[in-house]
Amino acid sequence: MTSARGFQAVFGQPPEAEASAPGRVNLLGEHTDYNEGFVLPIAIPQQTHVGMRRNGQGAFRLHAQAMDQTVAFTLDAPPAAHFACYVYGCLVETAREGVALEPLDIHVASDVPMGVGLSSSAALEVATLRCLRGLLDLPLDDVQIAHLGQRAEVRHAGVRCGLLDQMASSLAGTTRALLMDTRSLARREVPLPAGSALLVVDSGEPRSLAASGYNERRAQCEQAARLLGVASLRDVPDLQALDGLPELLRRRARHVLTENARVLAAAGCVHARDFGALMNASHASLRDDYAVSTPAMDRLVSLLQAHPQVQGARLTGAGFGGACVALCVQGAQAAIARAVLPAYAAGGGQARVLVPAEAS
Ligand code: GLA
């Protein structure tokens, strides 16, 4: 149900404002954003829809269709339900910008898969902020929305994320990837190689350690930068400069440096096979140097990589389970899924196709 119909069903009146925002899949540039590096995401067709109406009451009321749950809160204290923290964070961060907020009824409906690394939280943040912008006629541009969404997540949901997800949800389209320098925020669109298309598959493995593992990786990168005497790993000139680091930090930093180089190389790729080879190398680096893959994910990615109509495949998002993305021969996604999913299931995994929806 769209947010408007869902809103009416829950709150008995239509919303005053509505907005949507997509999830994203990152094609290359993983764990580079908080190191001021390069990323290459693209929006996915699935969206989160938010509706809002001033309620004239003493508290905000938030209904999440996915949980069939309504929570009430004020801006003085975070709501107990974790899902509500993203919306609460957006409201609080907007209020901190000097915007007077009266209590609202808010309805959220989403078909962005949750907890698989496709940025359902950023889609929620960006849709919430877009809806607030529409409701209150706020002078916020799409980059400011991305910054506010990131702040909401860092300060109120406990993940020290970079800007990748919110920028992708706020600015990327579904037909071209968005090459972005996360330091300067310079960006440009990059078409997928001719004749290729994307397949996104959920490994079925929940991302249980994602938040703690993510924050730990980020801290390791910051420590490596400190030891090297640079503001961020973006400033390290070459791989040789990493030689003096302790082994673990050297591996983490090596992933970041090589991944940045892969993003820039991919942006100039003409042939799908070359782009795909960079994705394969990215997966190996995330597995071996960054240690954010899992045995099940490695198995699924290997099965995809071995398929003749797959040009490259890698885990996508923070890792620790979740989804992977493959660059495929256009139109072959359903056939690839029919070959790979049963082979994965035979080894004990339950995968499902997330993009394109018709290949599921
Ligand atoms: C999560 C974070 C992003 C980014 C990716 C890894 O999605 O929210 O900021 O760091 O992980 O590339």
| Model pLDDT for residues 97-135, shown as the tens digit of each residue | 999 999 999 999 999 999 899 999 999 999 999 999 999
Compute the distance from residue 241 Cα to the ligand 1 centre, in Å.
25
The secondary structure of 83-130 as a DSSP string is HHHHHHHHHHHHHHTT-----EEEEEEE-SPSSSSS-HHHHHHHHHHH
Compute the distance from residue 56 Cα to the ligand 1 centre, in Å.
37
Compute the distance from residue 1 Cα to the ligand 1 centre, in Å.
29
For the residues 315-338, what does the mean pLDDT come to? 97
For the residues 292-298, what does the mean pLDDT come to? 96
Residue ID of nearest Cα to ligand 1 atom 9: 162
pLDDT of residue 142: 98
Identify whether 68 is a catalytic site residue: no
* pTM recorded for the entire structure: 0.96
| Model pLDDT for residues 133-187, shown as the tens digit of each residue | 999 999 999 999 999 999 999 999 988 899 999 999 999 999 999 999 999 999 9
pLDDT of residue 212: 81
| Model pLDDT for residues 234-285, shown as the tens digit of each residue | 999 999 999 999 999 999 999 999 999 999 999 999 999 999 999 999 999 9
pLDDT of residue 206: 83
State how far the Cα of 10 lies from the Cα of 8, in Å rounded to an integer: 6
**Residues in contact with 148: Cβ distance below 8 Å, sequence separation at least 6, in sequence order:** 90, 93, 94, 97, 125, 129, 140
Catalytic residue among 165, 202, 238, 289: 165
- With bands split at pLDDT 50, 70 and 90, how would you rate the model's confidence at 209? low
The H or E element spanning position 343 is helix 333-346
| Model pLDDT for residues 7-54, shown as the tens digit of each residue | 999 999 999 999 999 999 999 999 999 999 999 999 999 999 999 999
- pLDDT at residue 210 above 70? no
Looking at every residue in the chain, the average pLDDT score rounds to: 96
What is the CB < 6 Å shell around ligand 1? Answer: 26, 30-31, 33-34, 161-162, 164-165, 317-318
